[in-house]
Structure 1
Amino acid sequence: MDSMLLLFVTATSLWASVVAGGPPRGWRFPDLIDATISDIQWGLEKGCFNSTDLVKAYFARIFEVNRRLRAVTEDNPDALSIAASLDKERLTKGPRGPLHGVPILLKNNIATKDKMNNTAGSYALLGATVPRDSTIARKLRDAGAIILGKSNMSQWSNWRSRNFSNGWSSHGGQTLGAYYQNQDPEGSSSGSAVAVSVGLAAAAIGTETLGSVLAPANRNGIVGIKTTLGLTSRDLIIPISEHMDTVGPMARTVEDVAQVLQAIVGEDPHDRFTSTTMPTIPKYTDACRLRNLADMRIGIPWDLIKGLEEDFVSSELQAFFKMLAILEEAGAQIVDTTIPKATEIMQAQILVPFADFPANLASYLSQLTTNPNNITTLPQLREWTHSQPLEEYPGRDIYYWDAALQLHADKCGSNTHCYASNKARYGHLVVVGGHFAPLEADKLTALALPTSIAPFWTGVTGAASITLPMGYYPEDAPVQLSRRGDLVNTAPGIPMGISFLGRKWSEYELIELAYNLEARSRVRQRRKPKIVPSTELNLPRACRAR
């Protein structure tokens, strides 16, 4: 990072004085760990600061804590010049929309055609280049967002090792959560979640195949949405499975998630799954209104929760019960229900990504315009990883790659009769026995689950889900380590979340439900992370008024 970016932000670059009258009486711009996108837009519009100031502040905050948290892999060296251009545009033409001049981080598997890398956390792709921005990056730029940098991630989206550490990558190091020493950040959008939780950006973009947005949002006290398959393009995103991969925003509030989601949805000729079957896209921020929930029926699959009860400390269930009580007080109907074929689905769901990965990875690699290590296939990546000490093989194995290659050797990879037959059988199982079954049978708006066990169901169905904070582990909670034993998975003060699982294209209803629960519970405001940057914007007095 340029040394100038390490300086604490000053007020010398303020581009306009505060408008007559200033902010509303009693209003003050919040600390950046709490600032929403609406707060940022208000401050920009009133001349409290400009986007250049904002980028400098976020860069300084990253510099303060990144050696400990490893949330950000690299800063965008063009971010300041982009901010200056957007500041000028705001003055001459006005803002493009709610994301104009707002800094956002991208997970390090979402390609940008600029000076930043896109590596999925591996040195194998360091220095590789792409022919254009990914569609997600282009849409964000078109909306006026500033791509601040790339966030660290679990290497290859946790699709390499059985003995992995969430948030570890050779390129980015070990991401840690900020609520407890050596906290497991969950994965694979680990850096995106941690960065948002401590205010290193206004929001971030993650990707999910089986829990990679929901799980890290859960453990870092933020909101994340797993989108319907086909709502957001996966163009030039390093893949696992074209039948399961999705892109979703991560932010500190439901409304912020809705604003970012609005900018990235829509059809894309580069992704055949974003087809004309997509319904009319609503204005998601319209769902962010407080109202009575009497028309909403929320299903609770108690058989699933009871079957996994021993995996929870009692405090997680207690927090879940409190959220259900709040929903009932808001008028929602709580309905007992079941997921009929839960065990079979859990056992079968892994087939699709194993079958898809070799071909989908090769498709991405074939589009690179620069490929320094000349890796074009999964077998070549496997051999390269064997030979590179920085990739920590065999201490971190390549089980998932070997299993995927074995599946293809057994002639059950993608584009085979075996695969098509199994996928059809599994698709039927999901419809009759997955989370769709109770939604239809009981006429439900959504299912609710502790986020710890929520991600498995919508990943395989291609449906939408959302998580938001529901509490924190209490001071007497037991400390539990991750499977590798090097990270703390649960401990006092670590956040926990609740998820709502819906139908395909149900993002609007899920946002509406989550917004109303968030507004009534205000969980995030109860506790701050243990590691928080101190850099803040240097604001004029009128913007600091109480």
Structure 2
Amino acid sequence: MQARLKEWFLSNWLYRNGYTSTNISSTVPARELPDLYEATVAELQDGLDSNRFSSVDLVKAYIGRIEEVNLKGPALRAVLEINPVAVEQASQLDKERRSNRKRGPLHGIPLLLKIRIGLTVTLSPADEASVRLKSHAVGMSTTAGSFALQDSIPPKDAGVVTKLREAGAVILGKANLSEFGQFRSHKLTGGWSALGGQGTNAYYPNGDTCGSSSGSAVAVSIGLCALALGTDTTGSITFPASRNNIVGIKPTVGLTSRAGGSLTLDSILVFAHIKIPVVPISSHQDTVGPLTRSVTDAAILLSAIAGPDPNDNATSSQPFPLPKYIDALDPNSLAGKRIGVPRKVFIDSETHPVIIAAFEDSLEIMRKMGAIIVDPADLPSADDLIKNGWMDEELICLVDFKIDINKYLSELKESPSGVRTLEDLIKFIEGHPDLEQPRGYEDQSVFLESNNTAGYNAELLEILERKTRLSGEQGIDAVLSKYNLDALVAPHSTFQAAVSANAGYPMIQVPLGFFPDDTLPAALDDGPTFYPAPGTPFGISFFASAWSEYQLLGMAYAFEQKTQTRLKRRAYTKAIPSTQL
């Protein structure tokens, strides 16, 4: 039922606004135009600046691509909402461009937001005294994929959305996700939400997307948008980036704002002093970051959203001034770098042999590029992390979630369902099984566990300190110091994501390889999606200490330019939209 409701909403919106499969493409002359499957920000800006097409043309083309594959055809279910005034917003930005008021590299570029990211406004006429767009509330909700939050409105835009508006980006719409960032239950298949249905991978029919920024990753992977934002608590950007053959950056906690609401969150640590418009999981680990098709575009998007925000105290600890991340992109960035391979914890018997083989090849490639590979370079705290680290993280997230979600829900400007607490949320799900609990998606055990917590006490504060120390000071920091390393690399894994998440440290994910065509499709956890499967992607992660994004971008860029893995395989044919400029 929920899938039919969503399909009706999106299809009806497209029809009412004149976007059909026969007229969706722009009317620009047939010349050399970028292929939207792979188009970079630079290519799009070149076309916009040379008047080969407009931002309005671009928005209409992306909407056409979404219409082709989102609910029809392969039904990837990557996009939940189209911004009802995206065309109006693009038109205003086209006028600014014609008036020589281009704001920067994102001017007129359409992007998607994960539907956990607060958006209360879209567009109103520009103030004649300023190039900044004023705003008024219209109907885009921040639902985290749940009917419980349908049509809910946070008090303000998220801080990152404010920065994107100032940069001139077009908010194209909102992407599907694993409901509540995969935190309602660990038993639910990644990429599923009650509102959006089961999202699937574009590289294999019914392939697993991973999560929780699943829709953002799938949309980027086949060019349903130029760029996208995701959120990450423990791997929610880097996992779907790996699984969908794209680049993902999980920034240091505090590099990008999670804030934008009107009230202050009471908590133990300065990291949790947030005015919350990003639907939260853990204020100690949540961060917002880019999902893109290239490291270059990731650097551009990160520069646009990074920076201090008085509504999120975690951002007060970032270095000043922040570097220009685009300046880090040197194809020789790996030459002379000392790269550590933390095999213990990150690579084990559960790591697929295909991934291990590709990773070993990548180490040889980096050696030939002039990198010094230190192998192994295990975290001194590895044994303690295996013993305590993952349980510590889960417990802290359970405590944080109840505190943070109660604050978020209580501050909503509008909540038509009446949900204002975690307990309300649990009752809503139980009371609407037809919407929220279809067969195979009934569980909400993590919500129930979180609701049974009672905030922080001395013991929990010790656990919080331990999980941060074991992953940070005695983990990543310690191994970098011990071997005089510039970064660590590993094939992407659950443990790797958890270590960086526990420490609040950055990670950059880039494509590494694909499963061979003779791979037997495996139903993931006996669910409806498959992984591994023929042609499904996997990635490699570069990670290091806090605020090391500049250095990591350089190394990731060099590896990307040398290997060009993303370009070696496209999505399966039916998942590739035909609509172009």
TM-score (normalised: structure 1): 0.92
Find the aligned partners of 1:428 and 1:129 in 2 and give their Cα distance. 37
Find the aligned partners of 2:351 and 2:28 in 1 and give their Cα distance. 50
Aligned to 2:493: 452
Q: Which amino acid aligns with 1:396?
A: E
Aligned to 2:6: none
Aligned to 2:254: 230
Aligned to 2:532: 490
Aligned to 1:404: 450
Find the aligned partners of 2:577 and 2:466 in 1 and give their Cα distance. 51
Contact 1:161 1:396 in 2 (8 A): no
SS at match of 1:206: strand
Find the aligned partners of 1:292 and 1:501 in 2 and give their Cα distance. 15
Find the aligned partners of 2:34 and 2:100 in 1 and give their Cα distance. 27
Call closer, same or farther: CA 1:520–1:29 in 2, change over 3 Å: farther
Q: How does 1:454-533 map to 2 (within 5 A)?
A: 454-530=496-572, 531-533=575-577
Aligned to 2:465: 424
1:478: how far off? 3.2
Find the aligned partners of 2:24 and 2:424 in 1 and give their Cα distance. 46
Find the aligned partners of 1:524 and 1:277 in 2 and give their Cα distance. 32
Contact 1:339 1:434 in 2 (8 A): yes
1:231: how far off? 0.4
Q: Which moved more, 1:147-156 or 1:157-166?
A: 157-166
Does 2:393 align with 1:349?
Answer: yes
Q: How does 1:24-39 map to 2 (within 5 A)?
A: 28-39=32-43
Aligned to 1:42: 46
1:9: how far off? 4.4
Call closer, same or farther: CA 1:432–1:53 in 2, change over 3 Å: closer
Q: Which amino acid aligns with 1:75?
A: I
Deviations 1:173-193 (A, max 9, x none): 111001111111000000000
Contact 2:469 2:475 in 1 (8 A): no
Contact 1:105 1:192 in 2 (8 A): yes
Find the aligned partners of 1:499 and 1:451 in 2 and give their Cα distance. 6
In the alignment, which of 88, 101, 112 is matched to residue 95 of structure 2? 88
SS at match of 1:489: coil
SS at match of 1:230: coil
Contact 1:8 1:535 in 2 (8 A): no
Find the aligned partners of 1:354 and 1:43 in 2 and give their Cα distance. 48
Aligned to 1:540: none
1:162: how far off? 2.8
Aligned to 2:145: 121
Find the aligned partners of 2:353 and 2:89 in 1 and give their Cα distance. 49
1:269: how far off? 1.4
Does 2:200 align with 1:155?
Answer: no
Contact 1:240 1:357 in 2 (8 A): yes
Q: How does 1:93-172 map to 2 (within 5 A)?
A: 93-114=100-121, 115-172=139-196
Aligned to 1:544: none
Aligned to 2:405: 361
Q: Which amino acid aligns with 2:233?
A: T
Q: Which amino acid aligns with 2:104?
A: G
1:13: how far off? 6.3
Call closer, same or farther: CA 1:162–1:477 in 2, change over 3 Å: same
Aligned to 1:437: 478
Q: Which amino acid aligns with 1:169?
A: S
Find the aligned partners of 1:512 and 1:127 in 2 and give their Cα distance. 41
SS at match of 1:273: helix
Contact 1:111 1:237 in 2 (8 A): yes
Find the aligned partners of 1:285 and 1:56 in 2 and give their Cα distance. 29
Aligned to 2:312: 271
SS at match of 1:177: coil
Q: Which moved more, 1:194-203 or 1:124-133?
A: 124-133
Find the aligned partners of 2:503 and 2:150 in 1 and give their Cα distance. 34
Q: Which moved more, 1:424-433 or 1:266-275?
A: 424-433
Find the aligned partners of 2:116 and 2:230 in 1 and give their Cα distance. 9
Find the aligned partners of 1:400 and 1:99 in 2 and give their Cα distance. 38
SS at match of 1:148: strand
Find the aligned partners of 1:347 and 1:324 in 2 and give their Cα distance. 31
Q: Which amino acid aligns with 1:45?
A: D
1:121: how far off? 0.3
Aligned to 1:262: 303
Q: Which moved more, 1:127-136 or 1:351-360?
A: 127-136
Call closer, same or farther: CA 1:11–1:387 in 2, change over 3 Å: closer
Deviations 1:219-261 (A, max 9, x none): 1000000000000011110000000000000000000000001
Deviations 1:488-513 (A, max 9, x none): 02111001100011110000011000
| Long gaps (5+) in structure 2 | 1-12, 122-138, 260-276
Find the aligned partners of 2:240 and 2:446 in 1 and give their Cα distance. 21
Contact 1:464 1:502 in 2 (8 A): yes
Find the aligned partners of 1:272 and 1:70 in 2 and give their Cα distance. 35
1:455: how far off? 1.1
1:292: how far off? 5.3
Q: Which amino acid aligns with 2:77?
A: R
Q: Which moved more, 1:199-208 or 1:332-341?
A: 332-341
Contact 1:320 1:498 in 2 (8 A): yes
SS at match of 1:480: coil
Find the aligned partners of 2:214 and 2:394 in 1 and give their Cα distance. 21
SS at match of 2:531: strand
Contact 2:392 2:464 in 1 (8 A): no
Call closer, same or farther: CA 1:77–1:440 in 2, change over 3 Å: same
Find the aligned partners of 1:348 and 1:405 in 2 and give their Cα distance. 17
Find the aligned partners of 1:370 and 1:292 in 2 and give their Cα distance. 49
Aligned to 1:206: 230
Contact 1:164 1:484 in 2 (8 A): no
Contact 1:221 1:497 in 2 (8 A): yes
Aligned to 2:269: none
Aligned to 1:5: 19
Find the aligned partners of 1:502 and 1:174 in 2 and give their Cα distance. 34
Q: Which amino acid aligns with 1:111?
A: G
Does 2:359 align with 1:320?
Answer: yes
| Long gaps (5+) in structure 1 | 19-27, 538-546
Find the aligned partners of 1:520 and 1:312 in 2 and give their Cα distance. 25
Contact 1:230 1:278 in 2 (8 A): no
How many pairs are equivalent?
519
SS at match of 1:384: helix
SS at match of 2:493: helix
1:289: how far off? 2.1
Deviations 1:247-304 (A, max 9, x none): 0000000000000010101111111211145342100001112225333111001233
SS at match of 1:5: coil
Deviations 1:22-71 (A, max 9, x none): xxxxxx43310110001100111111101000000000000000011000
Aligned to 2:60: 56
1:11: how far off? 4.8
Contact 1:292 1:331 in 2 (8 A): no
Contact 2:26 2:61 in 1 (8 A): no
Does 2:183 align with 1:179?
Answer: no
Find the aligned partners of 2:238 and 2:196 in 1 and give their Cα distance. 21
